[in-house]
Homo-oligomer: A and B are copies of this chain.
Amino acid sequence: MTADAALLDRARAVIPGGMYGHLDSRVLGPEYPQFFAAGDGARVWDADGREYIDFMCAWGPIVLGHRSPRVESAVRAQMERGDCLNGPTEGFVELAERFAALVDHAAWAMLCKNGTDATSLALRIAREATGRERVLVARGAYHGAAAWCVPGGAGATAGERASLTPFEFNDLASVEAALAERDEPIAAVIACPMRHDMWTDLELPSPEFARGVRALCDREGAALILDEVRCGVRLDLRGSWAALGVQPDLSAWSKAIANGYPLAAVLGSEALRDAAARTYVTGSFWYGAVAIAAALATLAEVETTDAIGRMARAGEQFTAGLAEQAAHHGLVVTVSGPPQLPFLSFADDPDWQVARHWAGECARRGVYLHPGHNWFMSAAHGDAEIEQALEATDAAFAQVGSAVPQ
């Protein structure tokens, strides 16, 4: 029996279903472990000691690589002073100042812990500011696991999900249609910077969509909320729609901002400052200095080492290699997404069975990526890791190619 199987047996006794949430490995094939033991740079080790080049980065939080020295050093230094005190530390102010300086639309910041805390708080601030309840949300978009947004909605009340109207990402007409569906003004439109729903090719926003949603919010007196939880710190430190010239009123950040240490933030424009100040919110660990020290070190390292550029180049190298390999094996694939958060799907694969097969073969060969969810590059992915990974992915394509009828 593997260590993984033994742990899963123990887990089944004391954890509902054996595991839960996005790290429940049942959605993946038997080639994937459920339990991990360690991480370092771009590599992780499972409970049985098997090594993987890591293209999931804990589903986003790890942006500089596991145990990145500058972050770990900042954390250890802060631990010498303290973490959870009777008030925030200077670091809290510094981090709010950093966000306000880095992110174009941000005049202020409020820190919290989960990405869901940040998206939920952004909705509350928009509602407090406008005195309205209704929010337009892209169909199928993931904004967290609170009652209002959790996929499936198990255990949520009807009332908790009543004030949302869906639209289609990248379809401005559908946003207008959603608005017109009810004679009730809207508090906000919330969107991710790109479409990154699971089991779907990734889709960048068209400039017309992003600008159109911005104009619609201006016209309606509603807030535009950008959910940067997944894209933030990987696409553009100024904000993921900055290059399109589009500024949100509120943005929700988490995952990568502290390289894995638990932290999230709502950033807001000047016009929403008073509403934010009226929106009571708090958490026992939200002022903890250790995660804040990790965030300050992470943002400094990202900025000064061109981490985003390096992730983009590594992602380009990886996906270019994958596309070439697939073609060589006679497989038609689609590479989608920006190179820092790339994804690959197979043609004629409606049930994702080919993707699952290929990803499982990659896992067996020490490359950890997901068949139905975008991958995450980190700044620790260097030439050596990409080359090693591409050897494994080529063998995995060969397996899949030989199984697919030509």
- Could you tell me which A residues sit within 8 Å of B by CB distance? 7, 10-11, 13-17, 19-23, 25, 33-40, 44, 46-47, 52, 54, 56, 58-62, 66-67, 72, 75-76, 79-90, 92-93, 96-97, 99-100, 107-110, 113-117, 120, 123-128, 133, 145-148, 150-152, 154-160, 162-163, 229, 254-255, 260-262, 268, 273-288, 291, 368
Contacts and interface: CB of A to CB of B under 8 A. Distances in A.
A128 to B, nearest CB: 4
Given A113-B285, A155-B125, A14 B93 contact: yes
Nearest to A163: B157
Task: Quickly give the copy total for this chain.
Answer: 2
A21 B286 contact: yes
B283 A36 contact: no
Contacts of A285: 61, 113-114, 260-262
15 contacts: A7-B93, A15-B110, A16-B273, A35-B93, A36-B85, A39-B85, A44-B82, A61-B84, A67-B82, A113-B113, A114-B117, A133-B158, A151-B280, A157-B159, A260-B285
A22 B123 CA distance: 21
Contacts of A81: 37-39
Given A15-B108, A110-B15, A128-B154, A85 B280 contact: no
Contacts of A35: 87-90, 92-93
Nearest to A40: B82
A90 B37 contact: yes
Contacts of A229: 284
A115 B99 CA distance: 26
Given A14-B96, A108-B16, A133-B158, A260 B84 contact: yes
B279 A154 contact: yes
A138 to B, nearest CB: 19
A20 B281 contact: yes
A177 to B, nearest CB: 22
Given A278-B154, A287-B23, A58 B34 contact: no
A13 B106 CA distance: 11
A106 to B, nearest CB: 9
A381 to B, nearest CB: 15
A19 B147 contact: no
Contacts of A47: 89-90
Contacts of A79: 67, 72, 75-76
Contact of A23 (B86, B107, B126, B260): B86
A62 to B, nearest CB: 6
- The 8 lowest CB-CB distance pairs between A and B, nearest first, are A21-B282, A124-B155, A159-B159, A84-B260, A39-B82, A17-B277, A262-B285, A16-B277
B86 A14 contact: no
A147 B159 CA distance: 12
B260 A288 contact: yes
Contacts of A368: 86
A47 B146 CA distance: 36
Nearest to A156: B124
Given A37-B89, A47-B90, A160-B159, A284 B115 contact: yes
Contacts of A60: 284
Contacts of A85: 36, 38-39, 44, 58, 66
